[in-house]
Chains A and B, each alone.
Chain A
Amino acid sequence: MLNVDLFVNGLIVGVLYALMAVGLTLIFGILKVVNFAHGEFYMLGSYAYTLGAAALGISPWLALPLAPVVGGVVGLVTERLLMRPLYSGYSSWGFLKDEYAVVVTFAFSILLVNLVDKVVGPYPVLGPALVDVSRFRAGPIMLSGQKALATVIGVAVIVALAFAVRSTAWGRRIQAVAQNRLGASLAGIDPARVSMTVFGAAGALAALAGALLAPIINASPDVGAFPAVKSYVIVVLGGMGSMTGSILASLVLGVLESFGAVYISYGYHDTFGLVILVLVLLVRPQGFFGEQGRVV
């Protein structure tokens, strides 16, 4: 029974990891850079939902959309102001773009954490639950209503996103830019516009994850560090830029952490992902679903 419990809990955690990681994956797929401020979009969503509901005195259900809106808008602005130099001056920036992306997103992350710390305060705040069920038994496992609901919404959002990327015109434009930026622009796609919408979507997804988990994981200025670190591991594990790989890696990581904490030691709970990452990279450097490299 313990094993079933651990497995289901691991899957739930995995879904929540996936909600964070897919946004990071999309950004990497399009811009080929890692966004080190991704965790802070989670943090902004967590606060937007929690403080929005309290300040406006509205139902948590009405406050929930605030999070992706805030995350999305900050994402769009971030792309326009900070990421655009990556490809607007293509010839001069090309060889420095990795360094630029690391420095600018890392600095932006520190700025957001300190800004929230000063403006809102360092104290943790628990978000209001969307459902008033503090705990219930589902077969062998115990869950809070919020965790169950966050999982259901998380799965629905991931499925909808996967569908949108595979089957809509917007998704096909993303795939085109991800495959070949120059080729996509020759075919009439505006890569800058696609990059901006992807950054906005990634911000919205991370912020939604923050809002859904705010009633479980209290909002605080540094709350984004934890999901961000997991997301980086997941993105590399799944294969840089592969959405399917990220989702699978999220679930694998969630389950492994759950079992490892009990059968090895909880003390190593947060290191399992890194150990698995090293092992997988030794055998398959491109990750679960990444391509080894393609020259056209």
Chain B
Amino acid sequence: MKDGLEIVKDMVNKQGGVNGQQITLIYEDDQGIPEKGRAAVEKLITRDKVVAIVGPHQSSNCLAEIEVAKRYDIPYVNTNCWSDDIRKKGYKQVFNPANYNSRVAFAMAETLSGLGVKRVVAFCENTDYGIGQAKAVAEALKKKSPNVEYHFETLDRTSKDFTPAIVPLRSNPPDAVLMMMLPPAAYIVMNQLYEQGVAPSDKTWLYDGAGLGDYPDFWQNVKEAGKNLIEFGLYHPNMGVPKLGQEVGKTYQEKTKHEPNRLIYQAADSLLLVVEAIKNAKSTKPDAIIKALESMQFSGVRGSFKFSEEPGVSYHQWVDIPYVTYQFTEVGEPVSKTTLVQGPNLPLSVDKLKKAK
């Protein structure tokens, strides 16, 4: 995400900055701990006098941090926190160009329905994101495939041995195992699911709802456990991105020698939103930026949208955020070579999915 932010910062500053001013980014590491996140936002606002916060990651942190942003009335652009609860709070300072759990749940329920599965088990982490997504999938499945037997197991994200949660599935394998966890726990669970022969297997699909597939460290950490994984994603080279997105992707690739990924684009859009809002408002005053964010039609690196004003999960959200479904069929396969099963302009075709042998 830092790379995405830096690329946009350099791009904007090279073009003269915003209203004649250069952008300065100040980084704070919240270490995935809500208390540290809250303190970091407090410090950024009170000591560093930032005009906006961008780049947050992990829902529990976002939920803690938005309270501070609300208190000081500072615009907070949510880059990668998926919990619906962040939106449901209805804070006018919080804007969500990030994906959200209900969106993933809808996509997963659609795919599972297409696969005709009967019994589904989900492993979710014990966080606002994980539990939120597991519950959202339950709701979505109720509507889409009411006959599917679904239950989720909440796993401690700081734990390292998940075998006791996995072993009982061996004697009665479900049709699909869903993953709603972030690394490093997600990688450990995947490796232990593979080790125990539970999923992916000839009986059981493995389906990740956290978008792990394009993390730069994904294949370094999972090896065989990632083969045949079905992936919910927010970026695929074949989904098509606007010219600005292509430019950011190219710069990232030149800089890092890695394929671009969704986090780069999400971060880039977060900063571009603030830049555009300041330009439109011709001011860095929080109220002016917030009003501009609410009213503007934004064209970023992933597409064009306007934040919804509808209360609830859609509040200040990019509601129709594009997503893809794809499958890895080889160990170490780059996202660009994976089988795209569904995309913004590609209807879901589950017949392209292959079970493990």
Q: Which A residues contact B (CB, under 8 angstroms)?
A: 1-2, 5-6, 9, 13, 117, 122-126, 134-135, 142-144, 147, 216-218, 220, 222-223, 225-227, 257-258, 260-262, 266-267, 269-270
Contacts and interface: CB of A to CB of B under 8 A. Distances in A.
- Which residue among A126, A222, A226, A269 has the maximum number of chain B CB atoms within 10 Å of its CB? A126
B171 A261 contact: no
B164 A261 contact: yes
A142 B160 contact: no
B45 interface: no
Given A144-B195, A218-B221, A270-B156, A262 B164 contact: yes
Contact of B159 (A6, A125, A135, A270): A270
Contact of B196 (A117, A142, A227): A142
Interface residues of B, number: 31
Given A124-B183, A270-B156, A261 B195 contact: no
A82 B200 CA distance: 49
Interface string B211-238: 0000001001111100000000000000
B31 A124 contact: no
B188 interface: yes
A217 B195 contact: no
Interface of B: 31, 153-156, 158-161, 163-165, 167-168, 170-171, 183-184, 187-188, 191, 194-197, 217, 220-224
A6 B171 CA distance: 12
A122 B159 contact: no
B194 A117 contact: no
A192 B104 CA distance: 60
A142 B170 contact: yes
Contacts of A267: 154
12 contacts: A5-B170, A124-B221, A125-B220, A126-B187, A135-B194, A144-B195, A217-B160, A218-B184, A222-B158, A258-B164, A266-B164, A269-B156
Contact of A261 (B165, B183, B194, B224): B165
A76 to B, nearest CB: 27
Contacts of B158: 222, 225-226
A234 to B, nearest CB: 15
Contact of A217 (B165, B188, B217): B188
Nearest to B163: A9
B55 to A, nearest CB: 14
A137 to B, nearest CB: 8
A9 B31 CA distance: 32
A134 B194 contact: yes
B31 A117 contact: yes
Contact of B160 (A134, A143, A226, A266): A226
Given A135-B194, A142-B196, A226-B159, A257 B164 contact: yes
Contacts of A269: 156, 159, 164-165
B201 to A, nearest CB: 11
- Which residue among B154, B167, B217, B221 has the maximum number of chain A CB atoms within 10 Å of its CB? B167
Contact of A134 (B31, B161, B223): B223
Contact of B223 (A126, A143, A270): A126
Nearest to B184: A124
B195 A142 contact: yes
A6 B223 contact: no
Contact of A123 (B154, B196, B217): B217
Contact of B195 (A124, A135, A222): A135
B197 A142 contact: yes
Contacts of B153: 266
A191 to B, nearest CB: 36
Contacts of B184: 124, 218, 220, 223
Given A126-B221, A147-B195, A218 B163 contact: no
A262 to B, nearest CB: 6
A13 B221 contact: no
Nearest to A217: B160
Contacts of A227: 160
A2 B168 contact: yes
A284 B306 CA distance: 66
A135 B160 contact: no
B189 to A, nearest CB: 11
Given A266-B153, A267-B154, A269-B159, A216 B191 contact: yes
Contacts of B196: 135, 142
Contacts of B222: 126
Contact of B167 (A6, A124, A144): A6
Contacts of B217: 123-125
Contacts of B194: 134-135
Contacts of B31: 117, 122
A261 B154 CA distance: 12
A122 B182 CA distance: 13
Given A220-B184, A266-B155, A1 B171 contact: yes
Contacts of B170: 5, 142
A96 to B, nearest CB: 30
B37 to A, nearest CB: 14
